[in-house]
Amino acid sequence: MAQRVCIIGGGVIGLATAYALVRDGAEVTVVEARDSLGSETSFANGGQLSYRYVAPLADAGVPLQAIGWMLRGDSPLKLRPRFDPAQWRWMASFLGACRSSVNRANAAHLLRLALFSQSTLKHWREDDALGGFNWRRNGKLVTFRETASFDHARAGLADPQQQQVLSAAECAQLEPALADAPFVGAIYTPDEEVGDCHAFCQQLAARLRASGRCEFRLGQAVTAIHHNQGAVNAIELGDEVLPVEQLVIAAGHRSPLLALPGLDLPLYPLKGYSLTVPIGPEHRAPELSITDYNRKIVYARIGEQLRVAAMVDIVGFDAALDPKRLALIKRQARDTFAQAGDYDAAVEWAGMRPATPSGVPLLGATAYRNLWLNLGHGALGFTLACGSAQVLSELIGQRRPSIDLQGFTPRAA
């Protein structure tokens, strides 16, 4: 008999999970608090499918660097301390995860999942003809403004077989939009990809609807999870109680609100912003994805738009647009790629990355025998969605997961 699985959350993670499960023969219900799918953090993210740049934010040099950043007006990081134990607990764990050995281990876990995610998306694109989300294998340049950081990066390539070190002149030859940009060099990874995450969500939803094996409950927030004797048995949707057989939490940065006794969900929202800049025939936008390493800004051409994304603001659950932060991104983007698009017509957006302190998502079984987690993908949710979904589907179907899940297993509280 087919597995019946309920998924809380209709972002890229919940939808990819539903897709993998339906592909594997399950019957799925997706419960989404909003009236539309993929409309929270998965809506206008950076668009980079960044398979080989997965090193977690928590790294040895970061605490010191963060102090320096916060003294600057143009800092990519903003911290507003709050009387919020969750924020302090998260920061303390984050500092613990900054140790070099921990960072290296977590980067290895993320790389394993990212490469599996790339091959899973390839299967879905090719075997199922899944398209319509401006996917391209456009390659990526991580560009450096300072020699010291460039030298450090070239000495520690994540995948030397797949990556090339380029001089400033070689960068400009490969990507003419960089001709006037002030970079000393770059690391080039040819097989990185790009896509529109929101359009991807819509495509997955359309396939799920067409399958006849997926029900969507939109505009319904899960307010509680019922459990008994080590298993979950129902979810509350306001006045309604919906029985569940298998349950997946994929509710992004709000997942901790659904925590149960014995279930530790150490997530905190890291707010970021994006600009979606229209590109006309008169503009010269980069074709390759660009990560401006020193300014921590990413650029990705998605069809006829340039997506510019940046900033890590640790400011609680306030998702409002901050005009100062957006103006800074716009100024820095203009300064780097003056001709790339019509910045005056840019659409502004803010989103909350669902971040664990270590940067490694929580993926897999819990102490409740039919409750599963797929959450906490931080800055890499689009990149990791397909692989995380496929692995979870394998676990729920009691099959051996395609990758070693060491490092991802949810902790007991």
Binding region for ligand FAD (CB under 6 A): 8-14, 31-34, 40-42, 45-48, 50, 221-222, 250-252, 254, 258, 272-274, 298, 309, 351, 353-354, 375, 377-383
CB of 281 to ligand FAD, least distance (A): 26
Nearer to ligand FAD, 11 or 185 (CB): 11
CB of 313 to ligand FAD, least distance (A): 10
Residues in the chain: 413
Nearer to ligand FAD, 220 or 233 (CB): 220
359 close to 57: Cβ distance less than 8 angstroms: yes
Nearer to ligand FAD, 113 or 396 (CB): 113
Nearer to ligand FAD, 9 or 56 (CB): 9
Nearer to ligand FAD, 23 or 307 (CB): 307
CB of 255 to ligand FAD, least distance (A): 7
What six digits make up the tokens of 88?
């302090």
380 close to 408: Cβ distance less than 8 angstroms: no
CB of 32 to ligand FAD, least distance (A): 5
CB of 40 to ligand FAD, least distance (A): 3
**Phi and psi at residue 211, in whole multiples of 5°?**
-70, -25
**Phi and psi at residue 253, in whole multiples of 5°?**
-70, -10
What six digits make up the tokens of 331?
């100024």
Nearer to ligand FAD, 66 or 312 (CB): 312
d(CA 285, CA 181): 12
CB of 222 to ligand FAD, least distance (A): 4
Nearer to ligand FAD, 47 or 364 (CB): 47
Nearer to ligand FAD, 168 or 312 (CB): 312
CB of 407 to ligand FAD, least distance (A): 18
Nearer to ligand FAD, 185 or 252 (CB): 252
CB of 355 to ligand FAD, least distance (A): 8
CB of 167 to ligand FAD, least distance (A): 26
Closest CA to 379 of 351, 353, 360, 408: 353
